[in-house]
Amino acid sequence: MSRTCTLLITIADPTALLAMYGASDPTAAERTAFRRAEKQYKLYKPLNLKGRSRSKPSGGEGGGADLSAVVDFHALLAADGELPAGIGRRDCAGFDRPVFCFLDRPGFYFIPGALSTEEQCCWIMESLKTFPQPPNRTNLTAIYGSISDLLIAAKNQKILVEAENPDIQERNEQNNCGGKTESKYFKFVDSESQKGEEHRSTAATTLVRKLRWSTLGLQFDWSKRNYDVSLPHNKIPDALASLAKKMAIPAMPSGEEFKPEAAIVNYYGPSDMLGGHVDDMEADWTKPIVSISLGCKCIFLLGGKIRDEVPTAMFLRSGDIVLMAGEARECFHGVPRIFTDQQEISALISQLSSGDDVFILDYIKNSRININIRQVY
């Protein structure tokens, strides 16, 4: 069974989550060092007097967890002093940003504050407006088919309703098609126009909050766990490809250029986590995954080649970029929690507040977006 699992999941039954991680024995996986670290840092909802979890968890700093061992590369950069044991700096010709690494994890590189606030805002907007657009697929595609202009619909308070396609319906009637037909589809309409109507409907704002992933470039088939070149797709947007090529330089073999061919965008809500996994579906592991963090801060766990190796925890903030190439591609990694402390993203909030996009501003106050770009072949 492949060890790759980049599905974003909402915290639920731990045994079910481990099955999604690819663990053949969930009970045994519960005892691994990586799983213990996930439990240590994940967000636990506070209990009310009746012993039930409150619906709104506290996303502030710590939330009861001991964060003293979490590596903070921004603090190390600001201190500009001697680095802790096991952490080094990577000097790279032609690359003008600071790059940190772990001496025992070859191929892993951390670039703190790689993107300006303006760049972060740009990619947040693209992630919500452009990246979920067909032919790109999302976690919603299997349920509703291709959905266009989701962000615009959400801003305009529209709802998604199930409707009949007149052309297909007429064709089915002419052909005397019995049983279930393919005449139904989903479309956005004004909520006022549906008053009194009996339709299955979902608010567009709800669907934006239900976004968990979208795929750009070559499309990843989650059911087959590989890239399906037969699926319709557009190439990676030029601006994103150019950024990925530039940021990949510290992890690239000498004289080679990164070729962005696919990307997976993960969308995190306040209680979401990304279980421990290994990204092993690309052909050449010497080429890095370029991972861009946007929005709320998170804890990132970097383990070893087996789940029983104790992972290192570090903070990932908006604008940080992580590279994983070579041996680091074989390391288990995941995100056990995000922090919805608005102080951490005050620059983002200020920048977005100066525009007229209130919806995106409200979204990013308690969300995280991760864009990871890959060279498939």
Rounded alpha-carbon distances, angstroms, from residue 5 to 72, 88, 178, 313, 375:
26, 29, 40, 19, 17
Q: Is 333 annotated as a binding residue?
A: yes
> Do residues 274 and 267 lie in contact, with contact meaning Cβ atoms separated by under 8 Å?
no
Report the distance separating Cα 284 and Cα 85, nearest Å.
31
Rounded alpha-carbon distances, angstroms, from residue 9 to 17, 120, 207, 284:
8, 24, 15, 27
> Do residues 303 and 276 lie in contact, with contact meaning Cβ atoms separated by under 8 Å?
yes
Report the distance separating Cα 116 and Cα 124, nearest Å.
12
Which one-letter amino acid corresponds to residue 137?
Answer: R
| DSSP symbol at 53 | B
Closest CA to 134 of 122, 123, 125, 145: 145
> Do residues 268 and 363 lie in contact, with contact meaning Cβ atoms separated by under 8 Å?
no
The angle subtended at Cα 141 by Cα 136 and Cα 144, nearest 5°, is 140
Rounded alpha-carbon distances, angstroms, from residue 229 to 1, 27, 233, 234, 258:
22, 37, 8, 11, 20
> Do residues 328 and 286 lie in contact, with contact meaning Cβ atoms separated by under 8 Å?
no
Q: Residues annotated in the binding site for Fe cation, as ranges?
A: 277, 279, 333
Q: Residues annotated in the binding site, as ranges?
A: 277, 279, 333
